[in-house]
Amino acid sequence: MKKLFLSALVGCIALLTSCTQDSASPSGGGGGTSTVGKKISQVYEASTSTSYVSNDQVYWEEIYHYSNPSKLEDEWYWDGDKIDQIDHYWGNDEVRCTRYFYYNNAGNVNRIESYYEGELSYYMLFYYNDSKINKFEIYEDNILYEAYELVYSGDKITRANCIYYSDDEKSSDRQISFMKNFQHFKDHKESIQRDDLPYIILTWTGDDITKIREYYPGEGNYTTNYTYDNKNNPYYGSNALTAYAIFDSGITNLSQHNVKSSHSSDGYDYTYSYNYYENYPMQMSYTSEYISGPYDDIWYKDCYEYRFSFNYLVEE
């Protein structure tokens, strides 16, 4: 297939844009198979800054700026509406790891393999009820480390249950899949009972996830609330993108729109802003704040800012 790229300048970053969205409507929430709109080609990180503040006075500050136009983070390869592979890069433009996507006869992702510096690191298996992912497993060295089952209301995932995890430290340290949404799993790992494993509940408003609640039976629970814009989320739409949201890009990418803010019950706050082209993000930045303490009667506020840009593929 011949691939063409349309260049568009936004600030100092050259971005690529694709043709308009296919007329078919994506079926979000994790259920069904559908076509996608704009297809991500590259994701760049433009800059990162970090500061630490104590009692509203600057305590320590360190700022990082990557060279223009930006640092390549991800490069995506497509076969029609199917993701073929995604390369993730180091800061020196070398590929750090590659994810390969494999499909069943129905066209749904049933296996994703992750290679680190050319060696197979781990793989994931996806199981279906009709066209909906209802279970997935994570393996390393052919040993099962984690397993999750999904519960739906209609076409939308409303609950994810951890049904198995390994005692091996690799399981608690791994930051993929729903473990990203079981953010406190590691904190409670030693006290979690095998017959009472954690789970998360997803609350939807329309086609967007507006609340995620983590439950650790006998230990506690945590809540994160989200708000959204009204533009198209480039990570939303197809079965492959659903699988990618489940294991890597984040479960809120099952939502049709882009997150504008999030607030967590344990003190983490994020605010997102975007520049758009044809109702899709071309640039995204987000800031976060986390307040901790007191330590020796001093409170600390950690502030982060990240900027990213998106290139989209044009196909002919």
Residue 167 burial (CB < 10 Å; 0-12/13-18/19+)?
exposed
H helices of 2-63, in order, are: none
235 belongs to a structural domain: yes
Q: Which residues contact 114 (CB under 8 A, 6 or more apart)?
A: 97, 98, 99, 120, 121, 122, 123, 124, 176
**Is 222 within a domain?**
no
Percentage of the chain exceeding pLDDT 90: 37
Cα–Cα distance measured from residue 248 to residue 180, given in angstroms and rounded to the nearest whole number = 8
Do residues 38 and 18 touch, judged by C-beta distance below 8 A? yes
Does some domain include residue 257?
no
Tell me whether residue 142 is in a domain.
yes
pLDDT bin (cut points 50, 70, 90) of residue 12 is: very low
Residue 196, domain member (yes or no)? no
Distance CA 255, CA 252 (A): 6
Give the pair of three-digit tokens for residue 92: 């020196």
**Distance in angstroms (rounded) separating the CA atoms of residues 159 and 83:** 26
Q: pLDDT per residue over 208-260, tens digit each? A: 999 999 887 777 788 999 999 999 999 998 889 998 888 777 889 999 999 99
Structural domain that includes position 280:
3-149+159-177+231-243+273-315
User: Is residue 290 exposed (0-12), middle (13-18) or buried (19+ Cβ within 10 Å)?
Assistant: middle
| Residues facing residue 185 across a β-bridge | none
- Residue 183 included in any domain: no
Per the listing, tokens 């223009």 go with 68
Cis peptide bond prior to 294, omega within 30° of 0: yes
Cα–Cα distance, 76 to 58 (Å, whole number): 40
What is the pLDDT at residue 47? 64
Closest CA to 216 of 190, 197, 244, 201: 197
pLDDT in tens, 145-204: 888 899 999 999 999 988 887 766 554 444 444 545 555 555 555 545 555 688 889 999
Element (H, E) at 146: strand 143-153
Contact present, 31 and 151 (Cβ < 8 Å)? no
CA diameter of the chain: 63
10 forms beta bridges with 13
**Alpha carbon distance 248, 243 (integer Å):** 8
Across 268-288, average pLDDT: 89
276 or 182, greater pLDDT: 276
Q: Hey, which residues does 226 pair with through a beta bridge?
A: 262
Q: How many domains does the chain have?
A: 1
Q: Is residue 263 part of a domain?
A: no
Instruction: In whole angstroms, give the CA distance from residue 184 to residue 197.
Output: 13
Q: Write the DSSP string, 269-291.
A: EEEEEEEEETTEEEEEEEEEEEE
Q: 21-54: per-residue pLDDT in tens?
A: 333 333 455 554 444 678 999 998 866 666 555 6
- As a residue count, the chain comes to 316
Helices then strands, counting H and E runs in the chain, come out as 3, 20
Whole-number Å distance between alpha carbons of 135 and 124: 10
pLDDT at residue 19 in the model? 28
| Domain-embedded: residue 282 | yes
